[in-house]
Amino acid sequence: MSAYRDEDPRIHDIKTRIRVVPNFPKPGIMFQDITTLLLNPKAFKDTIDLFVERYKGKNISVVAGIEARGFIFGPPIALAIGAKFVPLRKPRKLPGEVISEKYILEYGRDCLEMHVGAVKSGERALVVDDLIATGGTLCAAMNLLGKPVSC
């Protein structure tokens, strides 16, 4: 049964397909494993469709996917809403000139990078990832997209 009276029934099924692995990768972390969701084509498609239904026609020209799991969900959403896909990558993966943003994770520190020129001033962007824990990664992504670039 759905937790919320008006919840889309697809959401309940999607929730049941995400495996929760206690104490991975460290004691105390309840790891939300989306690889089990990807094994079911209907649940995977429903996940993409829910985002497409929410964001299509909202004048979004950029879908920014966060490495690594935002690279699974971001591209199909970008194609369906007619936006470009911009990868936000971990350090030293992008070959061109980059801008960077450091952040703190639930279990460590990291940094995101984006190619200079991938997003133009004034564009409307949707950031896609699999999950928010502390919100640090999402904040870093938003800071990166909002950074002024002088070139």
Ligand X SMILES: Nc1ncnc2[nH]cnc12
Ligand Y SMILES: O=P(O)(O)OC[C@H]1O[C@H](OP(=O)(O)OP(=O)(O)O)[C@H](O)[C@@H]1O
Contacting residues toward ligand Y, per CB under 6 A: 66-69, 105-106, 110, 129-138
- Is 106 an interacting residue with respect to ligand X (CB under 6 A)? yes
Q: CA 95, CA 109: separation in Å to the nearest integer?
A: 22
Q: Any bridge partners for residue 105, and if so which?
A: 108
129 binds, among ligand X, ligand Y, none (CB under 5 to 8 A by kind): ligand Y
Is there a catalytic annotation at residue 17? no
Per the annotation, the verdict on 92 as an active-site residue is no
Rounded to whole angstroms, the Cα distance separating 29 from 146 reads 31
Q: Which of ligand Y, ligand X, none binds 46 (CB below 5-8 Å, type-dependent)? A: none
98: exposed, middle or buried (C-beta count within 10 Å: 0-12, 13-18, 19+)?
middle
One of 54, 69, 101, 113 is an active-site residue; which one?
A: 69
In one letter, which amino acid is 43?
A
Residues that bind ligand X (CB under 6 A): 29-32, 106, 131, 133
